[in-house]
Structure 1
Amino acid sequence: MNAPLHREMPGAPALDAAAALDQIGRQWDDDIVRRLSDYIAVPAKSPGFDPDWAAHGFIDHVVRDAADWVLAQKVPGLTLEVVRIDGRTPVIFFEIAGTKAHATQTVVMYGHLDKQPEFTGWRADLGPWTPKYEDGKLYGRGGADDGYAVYAAIAAVQALKSQNVPHPRIVGLIETSEESGSPDLLPYIDALRPRLGDVGLVVCLDSGAGNYDQLWLTTSLRGMTGGTLKVEVLTEGVHSGDASGLVPSSFRIMRQVLDRLEDSATGRLLPASFHCEIPAERVAQARQTAAILGHDLFKRYPWVHYDCNGESRSVLPMTGDPVDALLARTWRPTLSVIGAEGFPAPRDAGNVLRPYTAFKLSLRLPPPVDAVQAAQEMKRLLEDNAPYQARVTFDPNEGAATGWNAPASAPWFAQALDAASQAHFGAPCGYIGQGGTIPLMNQLSKGFPTSQMMVCGVLGPKSNAHGPNEFLHVPYAKKLTAAVAEVIARMP
């Protein structure tokens, strides 16, 4: 990788990129990695996965630790409040007074502290709540998604402060329900809106990276909805020899019902309302990104490899074309079964016709498709006219979230991104859509349609957020933190 470069734009504030990266790197090594290790050790699962979160106290624990750390940094002009609305998860709100003359707009820095559940398949020496730092990677649940964000945000500001680089007013919004679809966030946005000010830049550190070799800006996010689909045929299990052939299989009915949503041969979602026309600009960016990543795009996933009659084989992707793959994971709807109920473990399965089958469904939607309407369409399609008059019910999730498509980049923002990437990575900024969902982005875009959105993150190849062996790539996180400082410094 090339050595860091620093390229000044005409009239840009003088931030010494090398000094900023050195300071940030030392802070990560001396403090932030340890703080994140403590954070990983706390099972602060999102309320959708821990309904008793308030009683367990884990979310309050990580909020308190993060808030105490921010205050301990003694950043000049910083005030902080843990905001609470009855019955909802808490939010950290901090404010740093601006130092740039005549600057009227605000920078909002966003992150979250709630986590996905444990999942299975962790390496023998790793675990979701047992942090381990190895070869520049900090393993454990939540470090990369998204516990690091509040620490990186403050470290970026400290780099500006240490060089006396003027900056606009900065506000931090750190929530704790994002992994459940951010059901608690909108009430806080409404309550805090007068204190947000005129938002000119949003820095969201909850996204991904195409590689670890350059800064990556997220250009779009898919929406998400889903729920639990249940097919019931009996009130209790019965002998399969006695009943099969007469009593319809709940699993077979489940397959028939799902065929209304998805072509099982291709994976294509059938309802036209779930699709949209992909903007020409996003297609062009996908081609540019495919030229950078090539077939490395497919290597980021842990494919199953196996031997078949002496021939080595690997599972194949749904498409082998990198451009098509990028669009498929960002601008096309997909259905996933992420949980099941009504099945005994194989070792416990007797010759019994099961009374019901239940699947937890996750539907990812193209950015402009309304998630609430999609959930209603799912319910209608799945429940109407059930085969054999079986009892088929679909219970939609709370917190359906419509996706987001980034606004056009202002000239200063595009130049700042490229300068930051060149300064700290020696390569231009890359542009990539992401298949995940950040509910806040759609909400902020509606409220502040002219603001610039620096949506980025550390979730690069094999970082495996939500899955086993999730890790935070610390060398990349250091450079990303410095890049954030660079962009803020160049904001008009």
Structure 2
Amino acid sequence: MDYKAYFQTHRDQHLNELKKWLSIPSISALSEHKPDVKRAAEWLAETLKKAGLENVKIHETNGHPIVYADHLHAPGQPTVLVYGHYDVQPVDPLNLWDTPPFEPAERDGKLYARGATDDKGQIFLHIKAVEAILQQEKQLPVNIKFCVEGEEEVGSPNLPKFLEAQQELLKADAVLISDTSLLEKGKPAICTGLRGLCSLEVHVHTANTDLHSGSYGGGVPNALHAMVSLLDSLHDAKGRVTVEGFYEGVPELTEADHAEFAKQSGDENKLKRDLGLDELYGEEGYTFAERTGARPTLELNGVYGGFQGEGSKTVIPKEAHAKITCRLVGHQDPQDILNKIEKHIYSHVPTGAKATVIQFEKGNAFTIDPSTPILQKAAEAYEEVYGTRPVFTRDGGSIPIVETFSRVLAAPVVCMGFGLPDENLHAPNEHFNLENFDLGLLTIVDFLKRV
């Protein structure tokens, strides 16, 4: 079958469909968008039905819905479970978007919208690949199931319970996920490792009210000063996290590991230029690829307090706040790391200040052996379509549910991403390169046939 011709003929139709989905502001983190998240789930369910999937059902949870569908008419053939998410990140700061985030726009061969690459655009590829095979051949080469959630961007709080309760429904020989990226334009990658995740907030309080900096300055504790001192204690001058026991369970990189990371290392000078940086930063003794793929981190995501309006206000703030996330590797346990950070914070609070720690999301790291046969099938599919064999990478991002799928379903997870690292996922002007929209469809069809 000439799938290239098929997808070219239906390209405008497919993109218009995707734009309708992208126009729904399914922001899972904001309660005012709960109706929009449900609307996005309903759109997805209807689209799966139109594509030829069966047993389509919207499963309600304590949060946002999970959409399931299947097509199980290939007796004796493997079953592939496709996972993705239809929820998206908040859009702040809105003023940095060149076009409104929920008014999809094509520019220079790219589709701009929140969710374009993370993850509506990528999961849409799987729906249309399955639809194309059914349209062209009337049957699929494998049995297929879809499990698409609406809470990935808030840590998938309800999906693990769903997986445990629905193991028979979701049983599969492999899990297929497109929520990662190519190494760079024209250079595909298969992710064999994802970092784990944990997050927390720190609140520092001093006096019971903001105070005049003239009348009280120099004589009372300042919540912002206390917070800066506290946060500075979390790293040393060489970029290492100073929390006691933080690196327990972190595997040391072998010579083979260093060699593998060298294959995926890009031009660090070009990276600096692209990002407008004079220097990169990180733990001493590791390359950028190693720091972001194989080493744990502790990052400040937001620090705020005191007066932030225009002009000056001579005030000593009574409170300050910080949001922190850690990326974890190896056998680091998210709960253990949170407990250790909390202990560190309480033991380093400056005199005159009080601290409160609130723990949030937790997710384990994931790894898989690149020699796993189905990963080699994925590599062959990429090579056939892109003309070059993919690199097996360990990525810096976290998709906590990947480890859960692997463990609960006892199935290999194939991370076949079609995004690019510079597509501004989680940032203003998120976009999806349409070259990879086109090639991604062909790669998925090829992969399913090889499986």
TM-score w.r.t. the length of structure 2 is: 0.92
Aligned partner of 2:164 in structure 1 is 190
1:89 to 61, 64, 70: 64
Q: Give the paired residue count.
A: 447
1:35 to 7, 12, 17: 17
Is 1:374 paired with 2:337? Answer: yes
Aligned partner of 2:420 in structure 1 is 460
Quote the offset at 1:297 in angstroms: 6.8
CA distance in 2, matches of 1:340, 1:35: 40
Is 1:316 paired with 2:276? Answer: no
Report if the CA contact (8 A) 2:196-2:365 is conserved.
Answer: yes
Question: Where do residues 93-112 of structure 1 align in structure 2 (5 Å cutoff)?
Answer: 93-99=68-74, 101-103=75-77, 105-112=78-85
Quote the offset at 1:458 in angstroms: 2.9
Residue identity over aligned pairs, in percent, reads: 21
Aligned partner of 1:361 in structure 2 is 324
Quote the offset at 1:59 in angstroms: 0.3
**What stretches of structure 1 of length at least 5 have no aligned partner?**
1-15, 305-313
TM-score w.r.t. the length of structure 1 is: 0.84
Letter in 1 for 2:31: P
Write the deviation string for residues 430-451 of structure 1: whole angstroms up to 9, x where unpaired.
22221111111110121244x3
Cα distance change, pair 412–341 in 1 and its aligned pair in 2 (3 A): closer
**What stretches of structure 2 of length at least 5 have no aligned partner?**
none
Aligned partner of 1:11 in structure 2 is none
Report if the CA contact (8 A) 1:215-1:428 is conserved.
Answer: yes
Cα distance change, pair 410–461 in 1 and its aligned pair in 2 (3 A): closer
Aligned partner of 2:112 in structure 1 is 139
Quote the offset at 1:130 in angstroms: 2.3
CA distance in 1, matches of 2:226, 2:97: 39
Is 1:433 paired with 2:408? Answer: no
Letter in 2 for 1:22: A
Aligned partner of 1:65 in structure 2 is 43
Cα distance change, pair 418–110 in 1 and its aligned pair in 2 (3 A): same
Quote the offset at 1:409 in angstroms: 2.9
1:481 to 413, 427, 441: 441
Letter in 1 for 2:431: F
Report if the CA contact (8 A) 1:45-1:114 is conserved.
Answer: yes
Cα distance change, pair 121–135 in 1 and its aligned pair in 2 (3 A): same
Write the deviation string for residues 97-151 of structure 1: whole angstroms up to 9, x where unpaired.
142x422x42110110111111226556313222111122111111210012332
2:364 to 402, 418, 436: 402
CA distance in 2, matches of 1:436, 1:329: 8
Aligned partner of 1:50 in structure 2 is 30
Write the deviation string for residues 171-210 of structure 1: whole angstroms up to 9, x where unpaired.
101000000111121121122211112x222111111221
Report if the CA contact (8 A) 1:287-1:323 is conserved.
Answer: no
CA distance in 2, matches of 1:286, 1:189: 33
Quote the offset at 1:232 in angstroms: 0.6
Aligned partner of 1:447 in structure 2 is 408
Letter in 1 for 2:443: A
Cα distance change, pair 200–324 in 1 and its aligned pair in 2 (3 A): same
Q: Secondary structure at the match of 1:329?
A: helix
Cα distance change, pair 471–322 in 1 and its aligned pair in 2 (3 A): farther
Cα distance change, pair 468–167 in 1 and its aligned pair in 2 (3 A): same
Cα distance change, pair 388–226 in 1 and its aligned pair in 2 (3 A): same
Cα distance change, pair 318–379 in 1 and its aligned pair in 2 (3 A): same
Report if the CA contact (8 A) 1:274-1:365 is conserved.
Answer: no
Aligned partner of 1:271 in structure 2 is 243
CA distance in 1, matches of 2:14, 2:307: 44
Aligned partner of 2:213 in structure 1 is 240
Q: CA RMSD in A?
A: 2.5
